[in-house]
Structure 1
Amino acid sequence: MLISLNHIYYILGALVAIVALLSFQDKGNPKRVLTGTFWGLYAISFLFGNMISPVYMGVLAIAMAVIAGFGGVRMGKHAEATVEERTAQAKKLGNWLFMPALLIPIITIIGTLGLKDFTIAGLQLLDKANITLVSLGVACVIALLAAMSLTKDKKLQPIKESRRLFDAIGWAAVLPQMLATLGALFAAAGVGQVVSDLVSAAIPVDNRFMVVLAYTIGMALFTMIMGNAFAAFPVMTAGVGLPLIVKMHGGDPAVLAAIGMFSGYCGTLMTPMAANFNIVPAALLDLPDKNGVIKAQVPTAILLLTVNVFLMYFLVF
């Protein structure tokens, strides 16, 4: 194949490596060595993750956690345009500003639905096993090039802006990847079987609605605990979804996965554990209540979760 998921990882790893280098060079950051080391280790996970043994990758993850835990990841010094300069640039570009952002979903859909069987000289253009993720990665690269062409910014400016965003989010930027890995570890450790035993003891498993209710609400609750639906999915699906909904009651696995993940996202809206979604935005916007984002999202999350319960019940069987 011509473009695989590894190629996307290499591009992202190169970006994070440059961010690490800029952090090392930032004399305005009192923690520049630790901050640069943190992003450097993160870059290694993308660039050499398939070459490093799981043991050493675990050591790398622990090192990152120690650096972040002791406050080693700090905001650097950034040269930012004034409000007047940004306003003038926005007026000059007008609605064209939205073009790069709109390109991402459009190209992702085109790649996912239209190019999954496309070949060049007998080679698959995009990795069919990860068609959506590869299409998304290609879309982001194209959108970046379009943005650079549109704004006429210097070649290194997108990297500097990326570093500013990494600094603003801080260590929370790595949470989705880490929590998804944690979910896989929980599943491998047999937590799913424990969950299955607990659910089987608590509800009548021959009742389809009760099983669906346990799975959807369990996805939301476990996501609130873990902070990420990707971490909750393997545990709840192995413990409740597959053995009870699919195998016992003959449910559709595709519907189970889609609505199950959506139920997990409802939990994401209601937990401070999803720091990159709920706590970081509050900090970036200087909200007086750090839980203000969560409080605003709770009614929507509960309504969506209720709808998901009935969607799952009527569509999965």
Structure 2
Amino acid sequence: MSFFTDPEVLLGTKLLEIVYILIGLVSFNTGIKNALDEKNPSRLGTAIFWCSLGIVLAFGRWIPPIINGILIIVMTIPAILNKVKSGEQDEPTEKEMAQAYNEIGMKIFIPALAMGVSAIIFAIFTDLGALVGVSFGVLIAMVILRIYSERNSLKVFLDDSERFLSLVGPLSMLPMLLASLGAIFTEAGVGEVIAQIVGNIIPEGNVNIGIVVYALGMMLFTMIMGNAFAAITVMTVGIGGPFVLKYGANPALVGMLALTCGYCGTLLTPMAANFNIVPVAILDMEDEMGVIKNQVIPSLFLIVFQIAYMIMFK
């Protein structure tokens, strides 16, 4: 309890830790439920994966780093061996879904909108941060859904959380792992290496060519990393800073658009699992690359527009 009573720890950090504890408990619930599910073909592996993840998320702050590392390694073993499966799912029938739609209609989008609005309000008007805002928005969404129907009990929310996590499986960890990889790349000096390589290609002082290479680098590196937030640190250190910002380009404009250039890469890579692979699993699509194929043309149009915009208004 010393962490929560420490006056030097910001309130936002304390609240965020509570959120991680709750997320960890949800993951642990997923592991226990699958362990008890006799229809799950890989009960043990599934339980090990989700329970290990739950322990790290909920209590990682207080567990020695070596233990956290061991738990993460243990967690990856069933995922590597393809032993994380989904068990029996109590999914609503088409009739039940049609009935629910007739009762709620387009109001179903209000809970989702509440989460986004809450995140914006917390980010702009408080010091607690957008992540705390999203979490508060989830609570608001739960209340709204409860108002819609008394059938939406806490058990329903837990069961649907387990169903969604089981459906996505280990892919749910990919965004976090890729973001960590970006930090590792930055610490390892990958940005400096890229700067040395690019320095032999870009004419010194040519900001326009620097912008083109920076934007395309963000797109390509995001395709590799699967995460624009992981890519922008490395690309800004390696290209954006020394070849664009150094010569007077507007850092707010260039930085904002560089991130959206990375999002163009997000549209084109299976590494962005939460965008391009998870929908395939949820919708039972036959073509695993179906989402990406439909995003190729928009992505190319966007990258060209954003490069032109940066050059014009830099």
User: What TM-score, normalized by structure 2, do the two folds share?
Assistant: 0.89
Q: Residues of 1 paired with 2:139 and 2:312: CA distance?
A: 40
Structure 1 residues 32-41 or 93-102, which shifts more? 93-102
Q: Residues of 1 paired with 2:36 and 2:165: CA distance?
A: 15
| Alignment match, 1:11 | 22
The AA in structure 1 aligned to 2:255 is A
Instruction: Please tell me whether residue 78 in structure 1 is matched to residue 89 in structure 2.
Output: yes
Q: Residues of 2 paired with 1:62 and 1:314: CA distance?
A: 48
Q: Residues of 1 paired with 2:82 and 2:110: CA distance?
A: 38
Instruction: Please tell me whether residue 295 in structure 1 is matched to residue 293 in structure 2.
Output: yes
Q: Residues of 2 paired with 1:310 and 1:213: CA distance?
A: 9
Q: Residues of 2 paired with 1:201 and 1:183: CA distance?
A: 24
- Partners of 2:175 and 2:273 within 8 A in 1: no
The AA in structure 2 aligned to 1:264 is G
Q: Residues of 1 paired with 2:111 and 2:131: CA distance?
A: 18
Q: Which residue, 118, 127, 138 being the options, matches 1:140? A: 138
Instruction: Please tell me whether residue 22 in structure 1 is matched to residue 33 in structure 2.
Output: yes
Relative distance call for 1:48 and 1:253 in structure 2 (3 A) is: farther
Instruction: Please tell me whether residue 88 in structure 1 is matched to residue 86 in structure 2.
Output: no
What pairs up with 1:175-194 in 2 under 5 angstroms? 175-194=174-193
Residue 12 of structure 1: how far off its partner (Å): 1.8
Instruction: Please tell me whether residue 97 in structure 1 is matched to residue 108 in structure 2.
Output: yes
| Alignment match, 1:222 | 221
SS in 2 for 1:134: helix
Q: Which residue, 36, 44, 54 being the options, matches 1:33? A: 44
Q: Residues of 1 paired with 2:262 and 2:65: CA distance?
A: 27
- Partners of 1:229 and 1:261 within 8 A in 2: yes
- Partners of 1:270 and 1:301 within 8 A in 2: yes
Residue by residue over 1:245-267, the C-alpha shift from the partner in whole angstroms, topping out at 9 and shown as x without a partner, is: 23x21334433332222111110
Q: Residues of 2 paired with 1:279 and 1:269: CA distance?
A: 11
Instruction: Please tell me whether residue 279 in structure 1 is matched to residue 277 in structure 2.
Output: yes
| Alignment match, 1:57 | 68
| Alignment match, 2:147 | 149
The AA in structure 2 aligned to 1:200 is G
Identity of aligned residues (%): 36
- Partners of 1:233 and 1:261 within 8 A in 2: yes
The AA in structure 2 aligned to 1:37 is I
Q: Residues of 2 paired with 1:55 and 1:223: CA distance?
A: 30
Residue 81 of structure 1: how far off its partner (Å): 2.0
Residue by residue over 1:45-85, the C-alpha shift from the partner in whole angstroms, topping out at 9 and shown as x without a partner, is: 32123334444433333322222110111011111221111
Q: Residues of 2 paired with 1:267 and 1:249: CA distance?
A: 26
Q: Residues of 1 paired with 2:63 and 2:302: CA distance?
A: 41
The AA in structure 1 aligned to 2:301 is L
- Partners of 1:13 and 1:44 within 8 A in 2: yes
Relative distance call for 1:299 and 1:236 in structure 2 (3 A) is: same
| Alignment match, 2:310 | 312
User: What TM-score, normalized by structure 1, do the two folds share?
Assistant: 0.88
Q: Residues of 1 paired with 2:244 and 2:70: CA distance?
A: 38
How many residues are aligned here?
A: 302
The AA in structure 1 aligned to 2:247 is H
Residue by residue over 1:141-180, the C-alpha shift from the partner in whole angstroms, topping out at 9 and shown as x without a partner, is: 2212322332222321111111111111111101000000
Q: Residues of 1 paired with 2:71 and 2:229: CA distance?
A: 21
- Partners of 1:179 and 1:230 within 8 A in 2: no
| Alignment match, 1:169 | 168
Q: Residues of 1 paired with 2:91 and 2:50: CA distance?
A: 21
| Alignment match, 2:252 | 254
Residue 3 of structure 1: how far off its partner (Å): 4.1
| Alignment match, 1:45 | 56
Structure 1 residues 180-189 or 51-60, which shifts more? 51-60
Q: Which residue, 253, 266, 269 being the options, matches 1:268? A: 266
Structure 1 residues 174-183 or 203-212, which shifts more? 203-212
